[in-house]
Amino acid sequence: MDLRKKAFTKSIWVFHMSVGSCNNCDIETLDCFTPRFDLERFGIQLIGSARHADALLITGAMNKKAVLRMKKVYEQVPKPCVVVACGTCACSQHMFKYSYNVTEPLDKILPVDVYIPGCPPKPEAIIAGIIKALDKIKKGK
Amino acid sequence: MQMVQGRYPAAEEKMKQIFYCLIFPGFLFSAVIGLLAGWVDRKLTARLQWRIGPPWHQNFTDIIKLLGKETIVPEGAKYTFLFSPYIGLISAVLAATYLGRGIIAPLESFSGDLIVLFYLLAIPALALMIGASASRNPLASLGASREMKLVLAYELPFILAIITVIIRSNGAIQLGQIIRQQLFFGSNIFSLSGFLSFLVALFCVQAKLGIGLFDIAEADQEIMSGTLIEYSGLPLAVFKLTKAVMFYALPLLIIVLFLGCSLSPLFLIAKYLMLLAIIVLIKNTNPRLRIDQALKFFWRIPTLLGVIAVILALFGL
């Protein structure tokens, strides 16, 4: 494994984006950084600007207006980057599937690397998802 | 190598200068120490919040990772966008070099290097402003304007604190003489005027580093890391390095100005760590101020304290 990939797996900066979520997934995401779970141990940080991001964590059922913005934000993230679908809404649109204001599941719009199901996913589930993402990078993404 | 040393003393002198700037008290050394100090900051913060915190190499990993990322230049950005990080880094490194040489070889320092140092330490903030304004991002320009106001706020008390030290060492504007004065007559901090100006300088250093109370220009959540918002990859890494070098240089400047009594390596490290701990504690126990509150704070309390310290120093207290 080369240095670049190793450094990438050891310091992932996450940009957290909500595209029409009910705010539960967002709260659980923030819970990962509390003393009980403390993801900063592994160099994972939440950052403010999409330009600094290594991972795009997307929560919520894609509503029509937010999807355009989400595509723009994805273009703003410097590559290589990981896209994480957090919560059942982002994975498969959950109960909003036949709703009038949603478009498609996330993986039809962006190249999703990791799915974290759950409504909302527990912090443990989010950590497990992140480890899956790290494995995927290590195997050569 | 021996032959070369014998034949070209001028070239050897030049090589020495380059070595000072790039390796020992300069770039490499100060960046490594600064990144480690940044880790101490993060670890202490984590411990204060009852977390475990990142491993010691975390900041190095961050820099290496940023070097491997794509660099995006926003549409319509001026060439200063990519140019300004280096100006900031170079001036911070030069400041660190002067400080380091001032401590290692006090007799080599030239008259007026304190003033040069003062200007060099002001340039990284300027570089941040230039870069942010060149990026054509509204939030970045907001950050730049805040940084500008912050500079206006903290430079006056910082100058007053330095003037106190100059008066206390009989008008010497030379690092070597300031250190020698303190060697003979005890550290400046143990006098009344010295202590007051030490407090002032401590707050100014916080503002210069842009942490804790004065994390206004780079407010992470509020204006999405403000001045740095459009930076990615290599330029962002350079800005992070600049910050690391400043994190090394500014506490060192305070040590030289106020705690310069005994500067043997062990004492120096102990003093540096103590100062770092104080800065991190202040950072963690206080919430961020608004920019108008920061301006009011600096122009009232530290400026007043600075003026009192100057008057006391003139009376020899």
Interface predicted TM-score (ipTM) of this complex, two decimals: 0.85
How much is the mean pLDDT over chain A? 86
Q: Are A78 and B89 in contact (CB under 8 A)?
A: no
The CA dihedral of B276, B279, B282, B288, to the nearest 10 degrees, is: -130
Q: Are B125 and B147 in contact (CB under 8 A)?
A: yes
- Residues ≥6 apart with Cβ < 8 Å to A47: A13, A14, A15, A53, B220, B225
Instruction: Please report the sign of the dihedral spanned by the C-alpha atoms of residue B28, residue B33, residue B35, residue B36.
Output: positive
Token pair for residue B8?
Answer: 């070209």
Number of H helices, E strands in chain B: 12, 0
Q: Are B150 and B86 in contact (CB under 8 A)?
A: no
Task: Name the 3-class secondary structure at A16.
Answer: strand
In the block, tokens 């880790």 appear at B39
**Inter-chain touch A78–B51, beta carbons under 8 Å:** no
Rounded distance between C-alpha atoms, residue B275 and residue B290, angstroms: 25
Q: Which residues of B touch A39 (CB under 8 A)?
A: none
Rounded distance between C-alpha atoms, residue A129 and residue B101, angstroms: 50
Q: State residue B79's pLDDT score.
A: 81
**Inter-chain touch B70–A76, beta carbons under 8 Å:** no
Q: Is the peptide bond between B106 and the residue preceding it cis, with omega within 30 degrees of 0?
A: no
Parts of chain B with a pLDDT under 70: 1-7, 217, 219-221
Of A70, A136, A139, A131, the C-alpha closest to A103 is A70
CA of B189, closest CA in chain A: separation in Å?
37
Residue of chain A minimizing CA distance to B58: A43
| A1: contact with B, CB 8 A cutoff | no
| Residue of B52, B61, B69 with shortest CB distance to A43 | B61
Per the structure, the complete domain to which residue B220 belongs is given by 2-314
**Inter-chain touch A10–B53, beta carbons under 8 Å:** no
Token pair for residue A36?
Answer: 């009980």
Domain A3-138 has CATH 2.40.50.140: no
Q: Work out the angle between the directed axes of helices B234-258 and B58-67 (0-180°, nearest 10).
A: 140
**Inter-chain touch A78–B69, beta carbons under 8 Å:** yes
Domain boundaries, chain A: 3-138
CA angle A38, A40, A43 (to 5 degrees): 150
Q: State residue A141's pLDDT score.
A: 55
Q: State residue B172's pLDDT score.
A: 82
**Inter-chain touch B229–A48, beta carbons under 8 Å:** yes
Of B72, B116, B125, B126, the C-alpha closest to B94 is B116
Q: State residue B1's pLDDT score.
A: 47
| B270: contact with A, CB 8 A cutoff | no
- Residues ≥6 apart with Cβ < 8 Å to A105: A62, A90, A91, A92, A93
What would the pLDDT profile of A84-134 be if each residue is shown by its tens digit?
A: 888 888 888 878 888 888 888 888 888 888 899 888 898 999 888 888 888
| A101: contact with B, CB 8 A cutoff | no
- From residue B56, how far is each of B32, B140, B173 by CA, in Å? 12, 31, 38
| Residue of B46, B61, B233 with shortest CB distance to A40 | B46
